[in-house]
Amino acid sequence: MNPYWLILVAAYLLGSIPFGLLIVKARGGPDVRTTGSGNIGAANVARSAGAVAGVLTLLLDAGKGYLAVWIVGRWTGGSVRWMMAAAVAAVVGHVFPVWLRFRGGKGVATGLGVFLPICPEAVAAGAALWLLMVGFWRYSSLGSIVAAAALPVFVYVFYAPGHAPPTYVSLGTILISLLVLAKHRGNMERLVAGKESRLRWRR
């Protein structure tokens, strides 16, 4: 058996750590899955436990994605093929964590984190687009949806300027983008209906 497959299992398990849930519990709060939108991501943690908890969740969720891909890169001598596979595994771990009966977050922060070792320029562009959308409309979900949809374009443009990325990079990016978008289906429906909650910090 190729030992690299075991590393992908490790990438999944690393991605599956529910930092948002753990942070809120550590602060003496309720199960974050029972408050707000029920999501374990940074936006709902911020609504439930305050800005500091939300930012910490954002950093840790992105960090676990980065670490999963970085470790695989070091182990495989910088093989982008395996790094891309680890990126998908880490995001799948966050979205479908074995510890929470496969009901996890929406993969936004982890999705950005996994691309930091692969194409940091695309991450910067995606983060800037998210900030622009959220700053103007104050819908975290809208920023996430637009950034996720644009990520494959950003990777295509910035991965190897003037050249198309390898097929497995493009396919992996599209898969992660579609997974994040699928997890935001409910948000899309509420945005269209004008019922989506705007981002507010709890004091």
> In the prediction, which pLDDT does 200 show?
65
Q: Is the Cβ–Cβ distance between 53 and 24 less than 8 Å?
A: yes
Mean pLDDT by 10 residues, the chain (203 residues): 81 97 92 90 89 95 98 94 97 97 96 97 97 92 96 97 95 98 96 86 51
Q: How far apart are CA 19 and CA 57, in angstroms?
A: 6
Q: How far apart are CA 127 and CA 145, in angstroms?
A: 12
> In the prediction, which pLDDT does 1 show?
59
Secondary structure element (H or E) that encloses residue 75, with its range: helix 51-75
Give just the sign of the alpha carbon dihedral 142, 121, 175, 59: negative
Q: Which amino acid makes up residue 48?
A: S
Q: Would you list the DSSP string of 118-152?
A: T-HHHHHHHHHHHHHHHHHH--HHHHHHHHHHHHH
> In the prediction, which pLDDT does 3 show?
76
User: Which residues are CB-contacts of 22 (< 8 A; sequence separation ≥ 6)?
Assistant: none
> In the prediction, which pLDDT does 203 show?
52
Closest CA to 155 of 181, 182, 117: 117
Q: How far apart are CA 177 and CA 111, in angstroms?
A: 8
Q: How far apart are CA 86 and CA 68, in angstroms?
A: 7
Q: How far apart are CA 79 and CA 15, in angstroms?
A: 20
Domain ranges of the chain: 3-193
> In the prediction, which pLDDT does 37 show?
84
